Structure 1
Amino acid sequence: MPPRTKTTSSSSSSSSSSPSSASSPTQTLLLINNLLSLLLLSILSIKSFIGRWQILHSKLLSLKSSLSELSDSPHWSENLLLQNLLPNLLSTLRRVDCLSSQCSNLSSYNGGKLLMQSDLDIVAATLSKQLNDLELLLKSGVLRQSNAIVLSQPGPGSAKEDLGFYIRDLFTRLQIGGIEFKKKALESLIQLLREDEKAANLVSKEGNVGYLIHLLDLHGQPFVREQAVLAVSMLASASDQSKMVVFEGGGLGPLLRIIESGSSTLKQKAAMAVEAITADHDNAWAVAAYNGVSVLVEVCRSGSQPTVTHAVGAIKNVSMIEDVRFALAEEGAIPILVQLLNSGTVAAQEKAANCIAILTNSGEYFRALILQEKGLLRLLHLFQESSSSDTLEHVLRAIVTLSCSSETVERILSSSTPFILQLCELIKHGNVILQQLSASLISNLSISDGNKRAISSCMAALVKLMENSKPEGLQEVATTALVSLLSVRSNRKEFVRDEKCVMRLMQLLDLKNDLITKRFPLMVVAGILGGGSRGCRRRLLDAGAYEHVQKLVDMEVVGAKKVMQRLAGNRLKSIFSRTWRE
């Protein structure tokens, strides 16, 4: 029996020992075609292992067709990928020829039947891989280009067709080439994604992202795996289209495995990609299917800060799904999230606060867990320390929900002067969302008269907020907060001394102003008149309040008649007194 030759398992393997390795591509192709023609004839006469040889014959016919197409390509011999592919293909055909001879002359074959079946299966698999590589190279179109040896990246403003061709070339080299081809292709791909923000969509369309994801599980080449993780992460973070291609290509599972067991650098990049993928609600549910909840929680417990920041972002994303929320609680995520409010990076604190806000709004079970872990104290500490509007918004949303569901929380907040003072500052200087949340707390908390006097400076801002019809509910919370502050006598006097506040109030009462429900300014007028101060009443009358309220009474606006009675009380008494004397 002739000695067995080692069968290559990949077209990228070296063939330096082959006699044809030093031949030119043209010479190698000629040898391949000659041997292929002989094999197609000789295989037909083989009477043993007929099924397996029929499969090989079919593959050889496909190879003949592909080689014919290769010969028709004007620049095929210039392509570097063929310097490995063609010699490897010739070596495989020689192996097929050897097996053909053995099966044609079984009388001189000393090997076992199972061994021959195994050899035939191996050579068929090798031939399939090489045939696939050749077809991939042909489909890419790179063999028809005169610059097929080295393709440079198209410059800014290049045609979409040129960029698409460049991307196809990169992925062809990535899939067919050896380790050096893969390295250079990945480096070029990453450079393209960094320099051209719009390239990601074209990469997801023209490139084989599924093969890129396959490289995430490559254990033999750490550099290739690291670059592949970076490329996948960049695609997942670039656009909705490229993110969806990564997800649909099965990228989430390998990325979670990297977070679980990869190096520190790989974990960070993989966590970034998972955060981006789970930002889409339709993708977030899949984390639980890959057992990713425990992976993300463990990273937040013991990972490096950059990785934790992205992992907690992914946890925030998946916390939007009810079933996953309970999995988070079971895995011990709540204590970790609460701790991150004060110990993580600024970005991690914001994401943790966002997640806590989601959980507080998800039922009494989660609120109890958060309070049990001293979540309120950590929220208050972050509220005092943070300068980020987004973080403050998440913190306030969580605090609002906790205060509405717990009398204990409400008492703690009501008695916290620093907290009340900061709410005042946010009403005066925060964005409209922070103003609304702060006003909502002031209107709902049982604030002492002393603290109400301390924050009287925000009354002008509350009146101004009443002029805004958006966002929904803003006018109501601004009104109730202002009425609460007007329960203090000194605040009422301070309000009417501010001419701008009084004039704004009159404009809100005016029927021509249809941006506000009239019951809100009527509530404020009633609040000013509640203490019975003649000075306050006189200032409102001087500003024209009587005429505005009278029109509202005539239109039978709810609450207008009662306000009119308070507003006109002294005037009616003086009329009756003068009539009696006369």
Structure 2
Amino acid sequence: MPPAAASPPPPASPSSAQTIDLISQILCVLHISCLSAKSFVGRFQVLHSRLTALEASLSEITDAPHWSDNSLLQALLPNLLSTLQRLLSLADQCHGTSFTGGKLLMQSDLDRISISLSDHLHDIDLLLRSGVLRQSSAIVLSHPVPGSAKEDLIYYIRDLFTRLQIGGLEFKEKALESLIRLLSDDEKSALLVAREGNIPSLIQLLDNTKHPLIREQAISVVAILASANDQSRKAVFDEGGLGPLLRILETGTLGMKEKAAMGIEALTADPENAWAVAAYGGVPILIEACKCGSMLMQVYSVGAIKNISIVEDIRSTLVDESALTVLMQLLVSGNNAAQERAANCLSILASSSNYFRALIIQERGFPRLLKLFHDSTSFETLEHVLTAILALSSSDPIARMLSSSTNFITQLSELIIHGNVILQKISATLISNLSFSDGNKRAIASCMPHLVRLMELPKPGGIQEVASQALVSLLTVRSNRKELARDEKSLMRLTHMLDVQNEAVCKQYPVAVVSALAGGGSNGCRKRLVAVGALTMVQRLAEMEVAGAKKAVLRLSGNRLKNILSRTWRE
């Protein structure tokens, strides 16, 4: 039996140059056919104008140095050729004086061809405007290495966005994958992407694609851009990114929802954007994500709620949608990041008005905040918790509970000694505001030297005042006065702060502390203050009429002034 004959190889696909030649030939014929058509004359006139525009665009393409290497163009040209061949077939049927076929069907076919030509023109125009046809594919399509020239990055970004808009699924997937890699490798590239990329086309992929992978990749790119910097965040918001992200958070898959929540938190970090959440009906969506979402969804969603709580007009909506209940749950059941954001949100609400303070207390927010204060080791979380507690302490019952809690007061002292400057300021404020027993004041005497050091800090604003007020409160106890007076470093710091040449400290604060330290008949304290030169400094300040300085002079002068008055009376 003779061997079977080998099947012939498939014909090779024509090159881009060959396809362009075929298109040019058909265009020449179509120009004549459209002008000589006897039926549907109006439609053929429209088609003729589009063919003329197409011919001009193709001429511009062939003028570009690297047009034949572009893979997108290699995919576009065969589709364009097919459209033109179909149009030529339809035009041949319309040369007679009377059309004998189905008129409605022909009208529909011509309209579809017209739409297809418009789409081809749009895609070719995108290619031309992107500039990628003037750059070698070997340079443009390779992933930029660190330190690549800005011009190469721009061409690369434009090429990727061109593929997003006119490429098929494979082009879109690879373009989005490349964008994610670029943004992940180089944070600074987000600014170029926002400036040079077509952000609206990216936003459209969030809603207008049924391909799950492309949609999820697009969400990732949008979330990264929203989180990168102010300019890229503004670009995403201005092009309408918030609404699609909220819809995805409500109806998307778990992975999509997590990335959408990340993008929403980033967008709402700008107070000018946060108001729009309510306009899109996003408050209940965020609250639901906090209640039923994954850990990441909870973290990002409560972060977005925290951001929008800054907007006064939205706060009432948060209450109406039971956001407070969800925030309370996250304080005790959420992970560390969710707890920190929930505490931050409550601190904003508690600091805003008596109305919200009453609601937080009513929802048993105070004991939960107090528990988190004792349990948390995160300075960021403690800052927000203490801020909320400070606001709630304006309520007399809360203030009384805090004043009687030795555990709470002792932890405030530890934060003044070991905390960051924000925690130190808030803790000092609470110590100065609360009225607690002499026993509790003695229990935290060890924090007094640290309060003295805080009085020297120029920032944050107000820290010198609250530190001095806390010290004055603690110095009402005699043993505390004696203990601070034995600390030579603290006395030297106070004396230095009293020096008129030291302009970094408002003089009324060290004056108040020195006056408190010298009060109550503490001769030993007065002697130590006089020995380090405090009296001389305060006398100078009294002459300058600094508030409290004259009283401090009298206390520091003490027995010597009494002896002078007594001797004068005897004489």
The bucket for the TM-score relative to the shorter chain is over 0.9
What is residue 160 of structure 2 aligned with on the other side? Answer: 170
* Structure 1 residue 451 displacement after superposition: 0.7
2:139–2:152 contact (8 Å) kept in structure 1? no
1:163 to 1:149, Cα distance in 2 relative to 1, 3 A = closer
SS in 1 for 2:536: helix
User: Where do 1:433-582 residues align within 5 Å?
Assistant: 433-575=422-564
Indicate the residue corresponding to 2:82 in structure 1. 91
2:332 counterpart of 1:355? no
Tell me which moved more, 329-338 or 541-550. 541-550
The residue that corresponds to 1:284 in the other structure is 274
Residue identity matched to 2:176? L
Q: Structure 1 pair 23/510, CA: closer, same or farther in 2 (3 Å)? A: closer
Which position in structure 2 is the counterpart of 1:319?
309
**Cα gap change, 1:46 to 1:377, in 2 (>3 Å):** same
Is contact 1:78–1:148 with CA below 8 Å preserved after alignment? no
Question: Pairwise mapping of residues 149-168 of structure 1 onto structure 2 (< 5 A)?
Answer: 151-168=141-158
1:426 aligns to what?
415
The one-letter code sitting in structure 2 at the alignment partner of 1:511 is V
* TM-score, structure 2 as length reference: 0.92
d(CA) in 2 for partners of 1:468 and 1:73? 64
Partner of residue 31, structure 1: 22
Residue 407 of structure 1 is matched in structure 2 by: 396
In structure 2, which of residues 49, 52, 55 is the aligned counterpart of residue 61 of structure 1? 52
Distance in 2 separating the partners of 1:368 and 1:176? 57
Q: Report the Cα distance in structure 2 between the residues aligned to 1:520 and 1:330, rounded to whole angstroms.
A: 45
CA 1:403 to 1:37, structure 2 compared with 1: closer, same or farther past 3 Å?
same
Residues 168, 454 of structure 1: CA spacing in aligned structure 2 closer, same or farther, 3 A cutoff? same
Question: Which SS does the other structure have where 1:224 is aligned?
Answer: helix
Secondary structure of 1:81's match? helix
Contact residue 373 and residue 385 of structure 2 kept, 8 A: yes
Counterpart of 1:15 in structure 2 is none
Question: Which of residues 215, 218, 222 in structure 1 aligns to 2:205?
Answer: 215
Tell me what 1:14 maps to.
Answer: none
Which of 141, 155, 176 in structure 1 is aligned with 2:131? 141
Structure 2 portions without partners, runs of 5+: 1-9
Provide closer, same or farther for how the CA distance between residues 558 and 185 of structure 1 changes in structure 2, counting only shifts above 3 A: closer
What is the DSSP-based 3-state SS (H/G/I as helix, E as strand, rest coil) of the residue aligned with 2:456?
A: coil
Distance 1:27 1:551 in 2: 97
Q: Which residue of 2 aligns with 1:179?
A: 169
CA shift digits 1:526-560 (9 cap, x unpaired): 32343223333333333434333333333333323
Matches within 5 A, 1:176-325: 176-325=166-315
Q: Deviations over 1:248-294 (max 9, x none)?
A: 22211111111111111111111111111111222222222221222
CA distance in 2, matches of 1:565, 1:145: 85
Q: What is the rounded CA distance, in whole Å, between the counterparts of 1:21 and 1:102 in structure 2?
A: 32
* C-alpha deviation, 1:108, in angstroms: 4.9
In structure 1, C-alpha distance between the alignment counterparts of 2:542 and 2:534, rounded to whole Å:
12
The amino acid of 1:171's aligned partner reads: F
Q: Does the 8 A contact of 2:417 with 2:450 survive in 1?
A: yes
Q: CA deviation at 1:426?
A: 1.1
1:304 CA displacement: 0.4
Deviation at 1:303, TM superposition (A): 0.6
Secondary structure of 1:152's match? coil
Residue of structure 1 in register with 2:7 after alignment: none
Q: Distance in 1 between matches of 2:330 and 2:12?
A: 60
CA–CA distance in structure 1, aligned partners of residues 519 and 139 of structure 2? 88
Q: Do the aligned partners of 1:466 and 1:478 also contact (CA within 8 Å) in 2?
A: yes
Asked if the contact 1:75–1:145 (Cα under 8 Å) also holds between the matched residues in 2, the reply is yes
Equivalent-residue separation in structure 1 for 2:131 and 2:525 (angstroms): 85
User: Does structure 2 retain, via aligned residues, the 8 Å contact 1:21–1:87?
Assistant: no
Task: Check the 8 A contact 1:479/1:524 in 2, yes or no.
Answer: yes
Pick closer, same or farther for the CA change 1:517–1:212 going to 2, 3 Å.
Answer: closer
Shift of 1:504: 2.3
**Pairing of 1:343-382 with structure 2 (within 5 A):** 343-382=333-372
SS at match of 1:220: coil
Q: CA RMSD in A?
A: 2.4
Q: Which moved more, 1:309-318 or 1:551-560?
A: 551-560
Q: Which amino acid aligns with 1:77?
A: S
Structure 1 residues 149 and 443: alpha-carbon distance in aligned structure 2, compared to 1, 3 A threshold:
closer
Structure 1, unaligned runs of 5 or more: 1-18
Greater length-normalized contact order (CA 8 Å, ≥ 6 residues apart) = 1
Tell whether the 8 Å contact from 1:219 to 1:225 is kept in structure 2 after alignment: yes
> Quick one: which amino acid aligns to residue 412 of structure 2?
L
2:382 corresponds to: 392
CA–CA separation in structure 2 for the residues paired with 1:198 and 1:475: 39
Q: Give the deviation of 1:295 after TM superposition.
A: 1.4
1:443 shift after superposition: 0.4
TM-score normalised by length of structure 1? 0.91
For 1:131 and 1:107, the matched residues in 2 are separated by: 31
Q: Distance in 1 between matches of 2:262 and 2:97?
A: 60
Structure 2 CA distance, aligned partners of 1:296 and 1:64?
Answer: 52
Q: 1:482 deviation in Å? A: 0.7
- 2:32 is matched with 41
Is 1:75–1:148's contact at 8 Å kept on the other side of the alignment? no
**Range with bigger deviation, 56-65 or 103-112:** 103-112
Seen in structure 2, the aligned counterparts of structure 1 residues 453 and 177 have a Cα distance that, compared at 3 Å, is same
Distance 1:322 1:576 in 2: 62
Alpha-carbon displacement from aligned partner over 1:225-269 (angstroms, at most 9, x marks no partner): 111111121222222222222122221111111111111111111
Letter in 1 for 2:338: A
Q: Which amino acid in structure 2 is aligned with residue 530 of structure 1?
A: G
Aligned identity (percent) is 61
In the aligned structure 2, how far is the partner of 1:138 from the partner of 1:210?
Answer: 18
Q: CA deviation at 1:408?
A: 1.3
Contact kept, 8 Å, 2:225 with 2:233, in 1: the verdict is yes
State the 1:62 CA deviation.
Answer: 0.7
Q: Which residue of 2 aligns with 1:9?
A: none
CA distance in 1, matches of 2:523, 2:141: 87
